[in-house]
Amino acid sequence: MPERNLVELQTLGFQIAGKFILEDKKLLFRLNKNGNDRGSYVFVVNEKVKYVGVTKNSLYARMNGYKNPGSTQETNKRIKPELVKAGVVLIYFLPESDITKFATTIRGKGFEKQIPTDMSTFERFLISIFQPEWNRY
């Protein structure tokens, strides 16, 4: 089943953008690409999707929020211990420009319309497919 996760991510267009690592008991992250982009990110541990999120800021800023969560950043404070416990977490990413290429179908009585998918809808879609354990349902 874990392989299916990665195949589906790659089919959707996700690519590895970097990773979190634990080094000398410090959580660090390194991005190889997409640092300035907005979009959807996925945390993968041992080939299993653990968390799905979106960033309306740069990917770098969002990952830095997990590394150094502010006092009001409840999600970041909740996820950081999971990142530390995992030790190595791959960061998969899909830019917003690629997300809007997907269509959301809206159906009603006598009509059907496809509209570009926004990041929030895409995030909910991914959570419903992968049911990652670090996301709250």
Domain with 11 in it: what CATH number?
Answer: 3.40.1440.50
At 9-59, the pLDDT tens digits run 999 999 999 999 999 989 999 999 999 999 999 999 999 999 999 999 999
pLDDT band, very low/low/confident/very high, at 5 (cuts 50, 70, 90): confident
Is 136 domain-assigned? no
Report whether pLDDT(126) > 90: yes
Is 137 domain-assigned? no
User: What local confidence, expressed as pLDDT, does residue 89 receive?
Assistant: 98
At 65-83, the pLDDT tens digits run 999 999 999 999 999 999 9
- Within 10 Å of residue 48's Cβ, how many Cβ atoms? 15
pLDDT band, very low/low/confident/very high, at 2 (cuts 50, 70, 90): low
User: What local confidence, expressed as pLDDT, does residue 136 receive?
Assistant: 80
What the block records as the tokens of 38 is 């907005």
Q: Token pair 């009509």 is at which residue?
A: 111
For the chain, first and last CA: distance in Å? 21
Is 56 domain-assigned? yes
User: What local confidence, expressed as pLDDT, does residue 6 receive?
Assistant: 87
Q: What does the alpha-carbon distance between residue 115 and residue 64 come to, in Å, rounded to a whole number?
A: 33
What are residue 123's phi and psi, to 5 degrees?
-60, -45
Q: What does the alpha-carbon distance between residue 54 and residue 66 come to, in Å, rounded to a whole number?
A: 13
Is 69 domain-assigned? yes
| pTM as predicted | 0.92
16, 29 contact by CB (below 8 A): no
